[in-house]
Amino acid sequence: MKKVAIGVDIGGTNTAIGVVDEAGNVMVKDNIPTPSHGDINKYIADLADAINELIHSVKLLNEDINVMGIGIGAPNGNYYSGTIEYAANLSFRGVVHLIELLRNHFPKMQALVLTNDANAAAIGEMIYGGAKGMKNFVLFTLGTGVGSGIVVNGDLVYGSDGFAGEIGHTTLVPGGRPCGCSSLGHLEAYCSASGIKRTAFELLVHYNASDSLLADKSFKELDSKMILKQRKKEIKLPWKYLKKQAPG
Ligand SMILES: [Zn+2]
């Protein structure tokens, strides 16, 4: 009997689900929208349905499988308590008891675990990816936010409250831009995909850069990929600009 695990990646817009074997091969996968309505109970029911359908689809392929557990990565996911806590990029407010709610749908599942999405990525890279063979490293995730997972002596560092390595919400520019968490000047407000877009717009305004190839893009249209493409050609290093702007 083949041992498999269910991997779930809860993102700001989409939730990716995969059935993965011991070698790290994704046997089947699916996506459901991460809702903007904030109704956690409906979302958990949809997620459970999608997981059960995927398990069923593997069994239809005549695969004899033993589902060892469900592992979930989510923004602000707490490994110790199984909760998602005050995630700025999700519509669910406050503390969400994700594992407890999912357990109602999978009472016999052997393992049901949640961790921060960057921590999950660090474990994945350590076992199957770019950090294979490494025992001490830091992984950064750059997307809607900035996340990080710290591995020391082959173990993920969780810290006393489960949120060690949440580098996105450390202060880069005191009194700087508003962050999604409502504090000011955090790394995420500058170095995430959306932060880079905000920097590009500031630079366009600052240098009155009407000759820039990015100048005719609306704020909605512009994305970090377009900026990367133009970076070498025309935009001066944002860091120099940010240092000049920082108070003190
Ligand atoms: Zn923040």
CATH class of 2-128: alpha beta
CB-based contact 128:108 (threshold 8 Å): no
The two tokens of residue 114 are 């949640």
State in Å: Cα 140 to ligand 1 middle: 16
State in Å: Cα 83 to ligand 1 middle: 19
- Angle subtended at Cα 109 by Cα 106 and Cα 111, rounded to the nearest 5 degrees: 125
- Give residue for tokens 């999912």: 102
Q: Which residues of the chain have pLDDT under 70?
A: 232-248
List the alpha helices (DSSP H) in 162-222.
188-191, 193-206
State in Å: Cα 192 to ligand 1 middle: 11
State in Å: Cα 43 to ligand 1 middle: 25
- Domain locations along the chain: 2-128, 188-245
State in Å: Cα 194 to ligand 1 middle: 13
Listed residue (78, 155, 156) closest to 115, CA to CA:
78
State in Å: Cα 111 to ligand 1 middle: 32
State in Å: Cα 182 to ligand 1 middle: 6
State in Å: Cα 77 to ligand 1 middle: 15
- Give residue for tokens 């890279």: 125
Quick: pLDDT tens for 133-145.
999 999 998 887 8
Quick one: pLDDT at residue 248?
A: 45
Quick one: pLDDT at residue 172?
A: 94
State in Å: Cα 132 to ligand 1 middle: 31
Quick one: pLDDT at residue 9?
A: 96
CB-based contact 161:77 (threshold 8 Å): no
State in Å: Cα 55 to ligand 1 middle: 37
State in Å: Cα 157 to ligand 1 middle: 20
What percent of the residues of the chain are helix, what percent strand, and what percent coil, each to the nearest 5?
A: 30, 25, 40
Quick one: pLDDT at residue 100?
A: 97
Listed residue (48, 175, 153) closest to 102, CA to CA:
48
